[in-house]
A = this chain, B = another copy of it.
Amino acid sequence: MRIVVRCVMVPALALCAVLAPALAGGADWSEQQLATAGALRDRALSGTSAYDHVSSLVTEVGPRSAGSSGDAAAVRWALNKLASLGFSKVRTQDVLVPRWVRGNAEVTLAGSTPQPLVAVALGGSVGTSDEGVEAQVVEVASLDALNALPATTVGGKIVFINQRMERTRDGSGYGAAVRNRSEGPSAAGNLGAVALLIRSIGTSDQRYAHTGAINYRVDAPRIPALALSNPDADQLARWLKPGKPIRLRVKSTSRELPATWSANVIGEIPGAERANEIVLLGAHLDSWDLGQGAIDDGAGVAIVIEAARLIGRLERKPARTVRVVLFANEEFGLSGAREYARLVGDEAARHVIAAEADLGGGAVWRIQSKVAPDAVPAVDAIREALKPLALEGGSNEGRGGSDLGPLRALGVPILDLSQDATNYFDVHHTTNDTLAQIDAKTLNQVVAAYAVAAYMAASKTGDFGRLEASP
């Protein structure tokens, strides 16, 4: 095999990459482009400004749940940040978002020695009356177990779904348990329960309860729904174990306010030749209200801004435009992603590929995709360009982040850079989502992967085909 050493100038730094062109995706990229990809990679690994970006967002804005004053401040922050970093066509898209306010939650063992449990209201849940509700608890092992119970067992009681989320690198444990949260409130409400408690959909044994959105069905009574931290779910399970009836008092002052306005924030690194063709890098600007929104999704915001910024600093820009989209309100119904897709019109066909960073600050360990079958070798070539990161291959059934769903439905191919989620759900959606949970060096690794992937997608001779559009 012929080994070529190519060097490329990036500002303030000359970097070299060792190339093996036989592995390099054939006619899709020139040797010069592959050398640039390798240089970008090494540049990012040696240090980026991603940590500074997330620190800036967390420090200057902090929590920014949809429609809050923090959300509005985040939109201003993003406009200023993208403009000051030299992005082009920096702009907003207005997005109507729901507005839900948490208030306070109290869950207490009823009786003469009232032990409090750490709990948070689930996103969108209704509050209790001012006095709260007091009732006996009925414990179930899962949503399915709840659905198997008769209304006579559940009526008038507080349901406790005590299912522990599994810790996995790919985050699949979340998907397996999250139905308890999304579907549990209406399942319990339909059986006549007066409130729902779930064990947090999170992996930490620390005392943080995990919030997240619920879906009330139109045909079910709306009942208060809260999550207990894992140690508090353990405590409740110990109380229930002797088989004696346990009564809890539950109080929540959460409430819905009228819908209000937020915005997607967009900025671009214009392509040098086919600027109307778009490689989309997404993240979401909103966060839950409990933490600082550092890992969810300040990290993703920082990763995609920095990856695009590094591409923008290259002497030879890629052919296509790299567009950063910071979506409004991912957490509470994907309002921003839906509005982006609604407005995209004819441009949808010119979205060559899309990727979203929305899995915290963990290292990339795998590249998956959802592209036309004959474009899979190009995904392999991107992984090959990231060889020092020793990434695993995945399937061509990747889904990317939640915000990509509406674009995927329009046929836009997806690049799915899987970040290590082993510890992500220790912190995700909790009070503990702070800057202290982010490691700057690991963030650089993620930036390297996104920068190379976006650069190569934007430089590729052909495209990644189209997906079958779904309704």
Contacts and interface: CB of A to CB of B under 8 A. Distances in A.
A2 interface: no
Contacts of A431: 118, 207
Interface string A264-299: 000000000000000000000000000110000000
Interface residues of A, number: 36
Contact of A231 (B70, B113, B434): B434
A73 to B, nearest CB: 5
Interface in A42-58: 55, 58
B112 A69 contact: yes
Interface stretch (A30-38, A129-137, A234-242): A234-242
Given A207-B291, A230-B436, A235 B59 contact: yes
A173 interface: no
A432 interface: yes
B69 A113 contact: yes
B436 A231 contact: yes
Contacts of A114: 69
A291 B116 CA distance: 9
B113 A73 contact: yes
Most buried by B among A114, A115, A205, A291: A115
Given A113-B70, A114-B69, A238 B436 contact: no
B59 A238 contact: yes
Given A113-B61, A115-B62, A234 B435 contact: yes
A116 B68 CA distance: 13
A287 to B, nearest CB: 12
B115 A207 contact: no
Contacts of A58: 235
B292 A235 contact: yes
**For the complex of A and B, 4 pairs with smallest distance between CB atoms:** A231-B434, A62-B115, A205-B436, A231-B436
